[in-house]
A = this chain, B = another copy of it.
Amino acid sequence: MCGVFGIYGHVNAIDAAVLALRALQHRGQEAAGIAVANGVRQPKVRKGLGTVIQVFSKEVLQDLNERGPFAAIGQTRYSTKGTNTLVNAQPHWAESLQELFAIADNGDMLNLPEQKARLEKMGIDILSGNDAEIKIKTIAAEYLINRVGPLEQAIIAMSEQIQGVYSSCLLTRDKMYAFRDPHGIRPLSLGKLDTGWVVASETCAFDVINAEYIREIEPGEILIFDQNGVRSVNGMKACRKSLCIFEFIYFARPDSIIYDKLLEEARKRMGEELFREYPLEADMVIGIPDTGLPGAMGYSKASGIAYERGCIKNSYIGRSFIEPQQFMREHAVQIKLNFMERVIRGKNLVAVEDSIVRGTTSERIVQMLRQARAEKVHLLLTSPPYKRPCFYAIDTGRREELIAARMSVPEIASKLGVNTLGYLSLDGLYRAIGLERELFCDACFTGDYPIPMEHEPSKFEGE
């Protein structure tokens, strides 16, 4: 999961990109980068480790601004499997003497080692472990060496070589391209400013710059932005739409809109569905911040049980750079979440959380609820049991690390020490969302992977 943004035809392209990337910061805090173009010189790239604010100091912004750019692409990085080093930060680029193509991508690759070897055989150096470098160099190789053109044809040629996920912006000296893999696994939307166009992983990035949401970019679609405006090209092999269901459950911000649904409302309805499936009696409903909050409010609304804030989240946590010493490690969840004993003590309570992956955090949360002297703890999840690893830009670990792959629901309930453990059913989930299952990838619940794999991919540097 990463955040991607592009803007074309605006005098404040860089400022808008910074604001938009900050709105997408939840999609990755490990690195950030921006490439800009002014139509005359090759795109210029600046990137660094850390958050958008940390990377884009006044000096870096001045450096980017000095060419008077009218287009920019940017990315915030969350490393799925790779190391968080500068060489892996995006945008990546491919360059010739006369051209530079930069890419900002939210994606992953299943056949990275094979494609890397193929490029190296052509004499092309691969410097990072990041799949976006492979993608942009594949496109550049098609265009510059194999003479496949215009550039959108090279993008299509790339889509035929690379098995994987991509929601991308590509910047040249004077054009911008936005495209999405044929399954549309990661989101990407189109918006409009008074002058110019924008593209973003989530619509919350449009709100912060007052851009108007136009529509989602279709799976397999390529948008081309140039001085004549924007036009759409289709040419990738068609596949069924397979948006990652976890964008609805956890990843995307509640104020974003996907498939025309506001996530805040969809998540509230998941709480309502949970009450339909688990009509418990309790003194209060609390949500585990932040993603569990709308679910808890929905459960409260459906059940009439009071919604309370039982837990306060520390807003200043950020990412810790401290080598975890024993004492600190023991308090890692505690420093994030504080369960208020005066609210919880003696209560029979429903706690709503989005999902359980490995179970360690949930176990610690239940312990803290017990320490705050909750009498009964009913833990409800707004998703079905998470049983299969994801290979599409999320790091969920190996299958054996997933608690629901190893244990039955009663076993998990017993291990966590809860009075009730309730997972939302797949049907309930789609009912809450209000859309057909056919539009989604829910392989993590069902094992029904949309991109066929011959064998489970080995560990590689990712995203």
The digit string for A17-41, where 1 denotes a CB below 8 A from any CB of B, is 0110011011001000000000001
Please tell me which one of the listed residues B22, B96, B255, B342 contacts residue A335 in the complex, with CB atoms under 8 A apart.
B22
- State the copy count for this chain: 4
Most chain B CB neighbours (cut-off 10 Å) among A95, A307, A314: A314
A94 to B95, CA, bound (A): 10
Q: How far is the CB of A433 from chain B (nearest CB, A)?
A: 15
Please tell me which one of the listed residues B96, B328, B334 contacts residue A18 in the complex, with CB atoms under 8 A apart.
B328
Kindly state whether residue A405 has any CB partner on chain B within 8 Å.
no
Residues of B within 8 Å of A23, CB to CB, are 314, 335, 338
Which residue of B has the minimal Cβ distance to A289?
A: B315
Kindly state whether residue A208 has any CB partner on chain B within 8 Å.
yes
Kindly state whether residue A53 has any CB partner on chain B within 8 Å.
yes
Residues of B within 8 Å of A26, CB to CB, are 315-316
Kindly state whether residue A122 has any CB partner on chain B within 8 Å.
yes
Asked if B264 and A321 sit within 8 Å, CB to CB, the answer is no
Kindly state whether residue A322 has any CB partner on chain B within 8 Å.
yes
Most chain B CB neighbours (cut-off 10 Å) among A29, A95, A96: A96
Partner-contacting stretch, out of A138-146, A184-192, A275-283: A138-146
Asked if A15 and B328 sit within 8 Å, CB to CB, the answer is yes
Residues of B within 8 Å of A42, CB to CB, are 125
Please tell me which one of the listed residues B124, B297, B318 contacts residue A98 in the complex, with CB atoms under 8 A apart.
B124
Asked if B98 and A97 sit within 8 Å, CB to CB, the answer is no
Which residue of B has the minimal Cβ distance to A309?
A: B264
Residues of B within 8 Å of A297, CB to CB, are 307-309
Residues of B within 8 Å of A312, CB to CB, are 204, 253-255, 264
The digit string for A237-277, where 1 denotes a CB below 8 A from any CB of B, is 00000000000000001110100001011000000000000
List A131-159 residues whose CB lies under 8 Å from chain B. Answer: 137, 140-141, 144-145
Which residue of B has the minimal Cβ distance to A334?
A: B208
Instruction: Given A255-B312, A340-B255, answer yes or no on A331-B19 (Cβ-Cβ < 8 Å).
Output: yes
Q: How far is the CB of A67 from chain B (nearest CB, A)?
A: 10
Asked if B208 and A343 sit within 8 Å, CB to CB, the answer is no
Asked if B97 and A137 sit within 8 Å, CB to CB, the answer is yes
Asked if A294 and B322 sit within 8 Å, CB to CB, the answer is no
Which residue of B has the minimal Cβ distance to A98?
A: B123
Q: Place the interface of chain A in its size category.
A: 35 or more
Asked if A294 and B309 sit within 8 Å, CB to CB, the answer is yes
Residues of B within 8 Å of A51, CB to CB, are 316, 318
A324 to B272, CA, bound (A): 43
A327 to B11, CA, bound (A): 10
Q: How far is the CB of A56 from chain B (nearest CB, A)?
A: 7
Residues of B within 8 Å of A94, CB to CB, are 97
A95 to B96, CA, bound (A): 6
The digit string for A295-332, where 1 denotes a CB below 8 A from any CB of B, is 00100010000111100101111111111010110010
Which residue of B has the minimal Cβ distance to A10?
A: B327
Q: How far is the CB of A155 from chain B (nearest CB, A)?
A: 16
Residues of B within 8 Å of A12, CB to CB, are 327
A293 to B309, CA, bound (A): 9
Instruction: Given A97-B144, A207-B334, A314-B23, answer yes or no on A325-B254 (Cβ-Cβ < 8 Å).
Output: no
Asked if B343 and A264 sit within 8 Å, CB to CB, the answer is yes
Kindly state whether residue A16 has any CB partner on chain B within 8 Å.
yes
Residues of B within 8 Å of A25, CB to CB, are 314, 316
Kindly state whether residue A61 has any CB partner on chain B within 8 Å.
yes
A96 to B334, CA, bound (A): 40
A140 to B98, CA, bound (A): 11
Kindly state whether residue A57 has any CB partner on chain B within 8 Å.
yes
Asked if B57 and A321 sit within 8 Å, CB to CB, the answer is yes
Task: Report the 4 A-B pairs with minimum CB-CB distance, sorted nearest first.
Answer: A25-B316, A98-B123, A255-B312, A15-B327
| 11 A–B pairs (Cβ distance < 8 Å), ordered by A | A12-B327, A18-B322, A25-B316, A26-B315, A94-B97, A95-B96, A254-B309, A257-B342, A294-B309, A315-B315, A316-B318
**4 more CB-based (< 8 A) A-B contacts, given A97-B124, A98-B122, A204-B338:** A15-B328, A23-B338, A98-B145, A254-B309
